[in-house]
Amino acid sequence: MNDSSLNISIEDVTKSYGDFHALKEVSLEVTSGEFLTLLGPSGSGKTTLLMVLAGFTSPDYGSVKFGEKEVVFEPPHLRGIGMVFQNYALFPHMNVAENVGYPQKLRGVSKEETRISVENALSTVKLDELGHRRIDELSGGQKQRVALARAIVFKPKILLMDEPLSALDKKLREEMQIELRQLHDSLSMTTVYVTHDQKEALTMSDRIAVINDGQLMQLGTPNEIYRRPNNAFIADFIGESTLLPAKVKNGIATVGAAKFKGTQRLKKDGDFMLVVRPEKLFIANRRARDANYFEGVVKDSIFQGESQLMVIKLDPQNYGDRSLRIRLPNGSTNLGELPGVDEKIVLGLKIVDSYFVEATNGGA
Amino acid sequence: MVELEQNLNQAALTQLARREHYTFFGLTLPYLVLVGAMIIIPIGWLFFLSFVGRDGSFSFENYERMINSKAYLRIFITTFKISILTTFFCALFGYPLAYFMSQISRKWANICMIGVLIPFWTSLLVRTYAWLVLLQKKGLVNSVAVDLGLLSEPIKFVHNTSGTLIGMVHIMLPFLILPLYANMRAIDPHCVKAASSLGATPTRAFWTVFFPLSIPGLLAGLLIVFVLCLGFYVTPAVLGGGKVIMAAMKISSNIELYFSWGAASALGVVLLVVTMLILLIASKLVSFDQFGQRS
């Protein structure tokens, strides 16, 4: 806990639009100073939740607290949050410095102080010397930075961002992800970030809240979410994965015809899914006891620059019409020695990487 | 060989471009002929006539009369007064309506828009006489108000400035609302949200963000209304009952009563020049596409 940030407690927040349940009793604690990402596909309710935090949407019921203070009835302008919108929402009739100085002007900060804080904010986002520019003279990346400077100039304790990078091209977006994260670390305000881009979420967040169908599906560090997804939806949504159906009986899993050992203890009988990440597979020349194995035939082998992607059609007798993808990092593998198309191959998956999720959620 | 082919290609492409040019010119030709025949030539004729005196020779007498006669001065003052007042009231009633329409869902806004447009599509003369029927001494408004005891005796609404204004504001309102509404719809609603998230009260957000962004549309609307008012004839003629004499009416009476084409033409030229000047100044003051579009 420090004085430049506040924790956020969200409790039972529910919002419906007619028959559509945008949020269903969402409860979530955002720790002070944390970078938390609300991740979900479009229409999942993540933006609605952010708008509830910002005060633009009132929940049907539930509570939102900033620190100890209940804010659910506070209008947006009294919440003291910084917010960055998806399409920047800069004021086209003001120049860069006027945009950034706007919150300060509202707060009655003196001209001199405003000038200094605007300069500081602009230099934080690496836009020194651009204060006099008109908004329509800026590139997309610069607009994004101005929007950010405007949101942090008054040192809010909470910063909300609604897909701020979605309009930028891939390269710039990846640069900005790292920059935003560094910015968060240096300003140490509580940040709630909304995105549908799982990679962005994994890159930037302290913790990720996966939201789907108006519900909080899982809350955890990027590592936890990636390695130990709660259900088939998350396993499929986060990262690349293939889900193979598995049957569990008396704690023993069967995938295809083979018994598989998993990393977790399976207490329940029923239908499960084995989550197979392409980068966790390896080509097995001999079989050891610490892994599970698949047999198949190479269908496709694609050079992708930093890695080689192979599509393996699994033995149809045991697996039906299913295939797996294996990703071999370029450099660690001698690409010339890989089996060619239509050749037989044995893939291994370490037991520690063999993770099952319940199949009830639909999945792949 | 290759060079020759390139040259041939280039010649063919140039020809193609030229042909396209002619096609487009050909498409605009009917319009150009129409403008030439219906606008430029008559205006030239008007200009010429304004310099023809009573005796048929070249003279400045038509313009001199305008400067020297008190009657003309009064007409110009009336014209500007009515135009400015009409424009003012149009803004007063039109801005809130356009703002309201820009904030509701498109479906309801379209319904409101029909309400704005139906009178717009109705004949000017019909609307003007409708006001006369409503507002005259024994009209609907007065008789209802007297019957209800709101008024002890009928108010004189028509055949004066107030009647003219009521009619003109009603007729001009759509011309203000249409460009203003289009402008307001194009304002990014996130801008106002951003303002309030940054700490602006709704009033403050409106005046510091929404209003400045709506100015181009407002000015466009004001300009159209004002310019149209300057040359307005039917409504002031009917609702003013001869007591409110605007420039267009004087032009008509110059011809119909005094058969003085020269005087009428001179007044027409002055009106045209004033309108052009106003448009020129306005276009220098604001560029109408400056803001307002979504970023």
How distant is the Cα of B192 from the closest Cα of chain A, in angstroms? Answer: 8
Q: Residues of chain B whose pLDDT is less than 70?
A: 1-2, 286-295
**Both tokens of residue A187?**
């300003």
Q: Does A87 contact B294 at a Cβ distance shorter than 8 Å?
A: yes
Residue A307 pLDDT grade (very low, low, confident, very high; cuts 50, 70, 90): confident
Q: Which residues pair with A212 in a beta bridge?
A: A215
Domain A8-227 = CATH 3.40.190.10:
no
pLDDT greater than 80 at residue A278: yes
Q: What is the pLDDT of residue B154?
A: 81
How distant is the Cα of A83 from the closest Cα of chain B, in angstroms? Answer: 6
Best residue in A66, A96, A106 to probe B by mutation, most B CBs within 10 Å?
A106
pLDDT greater than 60 at residue A172: yes
Identify the DSSP state of A125.
Answer: T
Is residue A90 within 8 angstroms of chain B, CB to CB? yes
Which of B196, B197, B291 minimises the CB distance to A93? Answer: B291
Domain range annotation of chain B? 72-259
Interface A:B, Cβ pairs < 8 A: 77
Q: Which residues contact B140 (CB under 8 A, 6 or more apart)?
A: B133, B134
Condensed to tens digits (0 to 9), the pLDDT of residues A253-277 reads 888 878 888 888 887 888 888 999 9
Q: Does A76 contact B197 at a Cβ distance shorter than 8 Å?
A: yes
Compare all CA atoms of chain B with the CA of A91 and give the residue at the minimum distance: B191
How distant is the Cα of B185 from the closest Cα of chain A, in angstroms? Answer: 15
Q: What is the pLDDT of residue B2?
A: 67
- What are the chain A neighbours of B105 within 8 Å (beta carbons)? none
- What are the chain B neighbours of A103 within 8 Å (beta carbons)? 198-199
Which of A87, A92, A106 minimises the CB distance to B213? Answer: A92
Identify the CATH assignment for B72-259 out of 1.20.140.10, 1.10.3720.10, 3.30.2080.10, 2.40.50.140: 1.10.3720.10
Q: Which of B194, B204, B295, B200 is nearest to A82 (CA)?
A: B194
Compare all CA atoms of chain B with the CA of A167 and give the residue at the minimum distance: B295
Is residue B188 within 8 angstroms of chain A, CB to CB? yes
Best residue in A74, A90, A91, A104 to probe B by mutation, most B CBs within 10 Å?
A91
Q: Which residues contact A68 (CB under 8 A, 6 or more apart)?
A: none
Which of A89, A135, A151 minimises the CB distance to B193? Answer: A89
How distant is the Cα of A68 from the closest Cα of chain B, in angstroms? Answer: 20
Average pLDDT over residues A206-210: 95
Q: What is the pLDDT of residue A1?
A: 45
Q: Which of A157, A166, A164, A156 is nearest to A181 (CA)?
A: A164
CATH architecture type of domain A232-361: Beta Barrel (2.40)
ipTM above threshold 0.90: no
Compare all CA atoms of chain B with the CA of A153 and give the residue at the minimum distance: B198
Condensed to tens digits (0 to 9), the pLDDT of residues A40-61 reads 998 899 999 999 999 999 999 9
Q: Does A85 contact B205 at a Cβ distance shorter than 8 Å?
A: no
* Cα A43 versus chain centre, distance: 15
Compare all CA atoms of chain A with the CA of B202 and give the residue at the minimum distance: A77
Q: What is the pLDDT of residue A362?
A: 42
Q: Does A91 contact B195 at a Cβ distance shorter than 8 Å?
A: yes
Angle between helices B124-135 and B161-186 (to 10 degrees): 130
Condensed to tens digits (0 to 9), the pLDDT of residues A223-246 reads 999 999 988 899 989 988 888 888
Return residues 55-74 of A near B (CB < 8 Å).
55-56
Domain range annotation of chain A? 8-227, 232-361
Q: Is the pTM of this model over 0.90?
A: no
d(CA B235, CA B171): 9
Q: Which residues contact A278 (CB under 8 A, 6 or more apart)?
A: A240, A241, A242, A309, A324, A325, A326, A327
Q: Which of B137, B295, B187, B107 is nearest to A134 (CA)?
A: B295
How distant is the Cα of B215 from the closest Cα of chain A, in angstroms? Answer: 10
d(CA A143, CA A145): 5
Q: Which of A212, A176, A214 is nearest to A196 (CA)?
A: A212
Condensed to tens digits (0 to 9), the pLDDT of residues B82-105 reads 999 999 999 999 999 999 999 999
pLDDT greater than 70 at residue A364: no
d(CA A152, CA A124): 9
Q: Does B199 contact A106 at a Cβ distance shorter than 8 Å?
A: yes
Q: What is the pLDDT of residue A305?
A: 85
Q: Does A89 contact B212 at a Cβ distance shorter than 8 Å?
A: no
- What are the chain A neighbours of B213 within 8 Å (beta carbons)? 91-93
Average pLDDT over residues A90-110: 94
- What are the chain A neighbours of B197 within 8 Å (beta carbons)? 54-56, 76-77, 79, 81-83, 160
Return residues 190-219 of B near A (CB < 8 Å).
190-191, 193-202, 204-205, 208-209, 212-213
- What are the chain A neighbours of B190 within 8 Å (beta carbons)? 85-87, 89
Q: Which residues contact A323 (CB under 8 A, 6 or more apart)?
A: A242, A296, A299, A311, A312, A313, A314
Condensed to tens digits (0 to 9), the pLDDT of residues A308-355 reads 889 999 988 888 888 899 988 877 666 667 888 888 889 999 988 889
Which of A54, A75, A89 minimises the CB distance to B188? Answer: A89
